[in-house]
Amino acid sequence: MNYPFRYVPHPLVVDAANALISRIVADSALDALFSEGKMLGVLITDAGPLYAFSGLAGGKADVDGFVPPVLDLTKGYFKQREAEISAMEAGPAKSAASAALQDWIFENCRVMNGLGLEMSVKDIFALRGLVPPGGTGDCAAPKLLNYAFRNNLKPLWIGEFWYGASPGQEIRSQGRFYPACTSKCGPLLTWMMQGLDVEPDPLDAAVSSPAEPQILYSDDTVLVVDKPAGMLSVPGRIESKSLLEWLRERFGSPVESCHRLDMDTSGIMVYARSLQAKSELERQFASREVSKAYRARLCGGPWNHALQGTIALPLSLDYYDRPRQMIDTERGKRAVTRYKVLQIMPDGTVDVMFYPLTGRSHQIRVHAAAERGLGHPIVGDRLYGGASTSAEGLGSHGVSLMLRACGLAFRHPADGRLMSFGEGV
């Protein structure tokens, strides 16, 4: 089975998703349940496809044609106790009763894994010293796997995609596939997949043998390097050599980081060879004196935007689904990107140059994918809906993120002369 936290949907998953979308569109009652926006899931088994939805659909936990919930909270003890708690006066007793009911949910939401074992959500998270977030076990993926295990079906491939209106904050568009969330489904699915033959995390494979970095310029003050995709800019959670470490091995210390690129993004970076140079370069980045250009290939589909313009959408970290970012108009940090369409390709994909005026994490990726941005994810972006093929058939491409930091211009920290590398700056 594919790794559900970072994957390219299998063609059979895409076909099954297309069939489900067609069925929903043709059935007005079914469309009404999902049109406000819902994550749907497909699991291909040895007996055919299974379907699920996250949470409730129009207040319903059970809908014909979809697997049942792990624990139905629309009836029985939960509804009775919920009504009793709602009638209580606000205070410590009501808070304690609510906490106890939530604990009851986690104890009674029991799932199976590929080894044939059964365990409660509460105990699964306790194995990691964690408390499950609310709603754990109610996403499409755990519903699908739990149903398959309880009915002696063999899971083959899985995928989750969005149907209906896009939410205000999360980056979701109809028909596009997204990875399972890391907070609720991370510990849960990892336990449930025990006993299955699951593909390794593609992220680990990507960093195991990245291409060799290329030195574009070097002197006693700065190093300008072309970072390959799949290599970290600085040491991180993955046990793989970062570009900073690679440079220190070759040039000795000090070599200091001044800015970063996402691991999946290739392109031009500058490193300082002294703390004084680092300070000056960081000042230039902070004051927006550095010019940056990125080139990207966006997924196809109707282009309903100007051929050039500016996107201004504030961003913040999605704490429940790291490392994804989300649009946050209340607490998000200002993020501004200029763009210019270079060419709409024969296959419908779009060749675009981006010029970020701020430097937020995943800024270009989110501005490209968000419906309030361009609504066209970057090809190969498995976090934001650009993974290979969409359920609406918007094209098929390779798995690499097609985003490159193609141009960089700054003032030399020692003598102030303009240093320009690549294109677009």
pLDDT of the residue at 399: 55
Beta strands in 219-304 (DSSP E): 222-227, 256-257, 266-272, 291-298
Kindly state whether residues 148 and 26 are assigned to the same domain. yes
How many structural domains does the chain have? 2
- From the list 417, 397, 400, the residue with the least C-alpha distance to 409 is 417
Kindly state whether residues 412 and 298 are assigned to the same domain. yes
**Is 425:407 a contact under the CB 8 Å cutoff?**
yes
Q: Which residue has the tokens 């985003």?
A: 403
Q: Is 361 left (phi over 0), alpha (psi -120 to 50) or beta?
A: beta
pLDDT of the residue at 238: 67
**Is 409:291 a contact under the CB 8 Å cutoff?**
yes
292 within some domain: yes
pLDDT at 377 over 80: yes
409 within some domain: yes
Kindly state whether residues 369 and 272 are assigned to the same domain. yes
Kindly state whether residues 152 and 267 are assigned to the same domain. no
Kindly state whether residues 191 and 286 are assigned to the same domain. no
297 within some domain: yes
pLDDT at 346 over 70: yes
pLDDT of the residue at 247: 97
Kindly state whether residues 116 and 154 are assigned to the same domain. yes
pLDDT of the residue at 237: 67
Phi, psi of 334 (to 5 degrees): -55, 130
- Residue 188: which H helix or E strand, with range? helix 185-192
What is the CATH number for 223? Answer: 3.30.2350.10
Beta strands in 71-221 (DSSP E): 110-112, 118-120, 155-163, 177-178, 214-218
Kindly state whether residues 58 and 38 are assigned to the same domain. yes
pLDDT at 78 over 90: yes
Which one of 165, 199, 233 terminates a domain? 199
**Is 23:391 a contact under the CB 8 Å cutoff?**
no
Kindly state whether residues 142 and 18 are assigned to the same domain. yes
pLDDT at 205 over 90: no
pLDDT of the residue at 208: 53
In one letter, which amino acid is 247? L
pLDDT of the residue at 61: 96
Q: Which residues contact 115 (CB under 8 A, 6 or more apart)?
A: 194, 195
More confidently predicted of 198 and 210: 198
pLDDT of the residue at 321: 84
Kindly state whether residues 153 and 238 are assigned to the same domain. no
Q: Which domain holds residue 378?
A: 205-422
**Spatial distance between the Cα atoms of 264 and 156, rounded to a whole number of angstroms:** 27
Q: What are the Cα distances from residue 239, in Å, to 7, 49, 271?
A: 21, 37, 21
Give the distance from CA 153 to its chain's centroid: 29
Active site residues: 262
pLDDT in tens, 351-363: 999 999 999 999 9
Which range among 96-105, 306-315, 393-402 shows the weakest confidence by mean pLDDT? 393-402
**Is 67:143 a contact under the CB 8 Å cutoff?**
yes
Kindly state whether residues 194 and 209 are assigned to the same domain. no
Which one of 145, 174, 199 terminates a domain? 199
186 within some domain: yes
pLDDT at 212 over 60: yes
- Residue 413: which H helix or E strand, with range? none
pLDDT of the residue at 132: 95
**Spatial distance between the Cα atoms of 20 and 185, rounded to a whole number of angstroms:** 23
pLDDT at 389 over 80: no
Q: C-alpha angle 44/46/47, rounded to 5°?
A: 90
Q: Which residues contact 28 (CB under 8 A, 6 or more apart)?
A: none
Question: What is the chain's mean pLDDT, rounded?
Answer: 93
pLDDT of the residue at 222: 98
Per cent of the chain over pLDDT 90 is 85
pLDDT of the residue at 182: 87
**Spatial distance between the Cα atoms of 114 and 106, rounded to a whole number of angstroms:** 20
- Residue 340: which H helix or E strand, with range? strand 336-344
pLDDT at 256 over 70: yes
329 within some domain: yes
Per cent of the chain over pLDDT 70 is 95
pLDDT in tens, 171-196: 999 999 999 998 899 999 999 999 99
Collapsed DSSP state (helix, strand, coil) of residue 30: helix
Question: 399 exposed, middle or buried (CB, 10 Å; 0-12, 13-18, 19+)?
Answer: middle
How far apart, in Å, do the first and last CA atoms of the chain sit? 44
Which range among 141-145, 292-296, 382-386 shows the weakest confidence by mean pLDDT? 382-386
3 within some domain: no
Which one of 149, 167, 199 terminates a domain? 199
Question: Which band of pLDDT confidence, cut at 50, 70 and 90, is reported for residue 393?
Answer: very low
Kindly state whether residues 226 and 349 are assigned to the same domain. yes
Kindly state whether residues 114 and 242 are assigned to the same domain. no
78 within some domain: no
**Spatial distance between the Cα atoms of 70 and 200, rounded to a whole number of angstroms:** 27
More confidently predicted of 412 and 206: 412
332 within some domain: yes
Taken in order 304, 306, 308, 313, the sign of the CA dihedral is negative
Which range among 212-216, 371-375, 391-395 shows the weakest confidence by mean pLDDT? 391-395
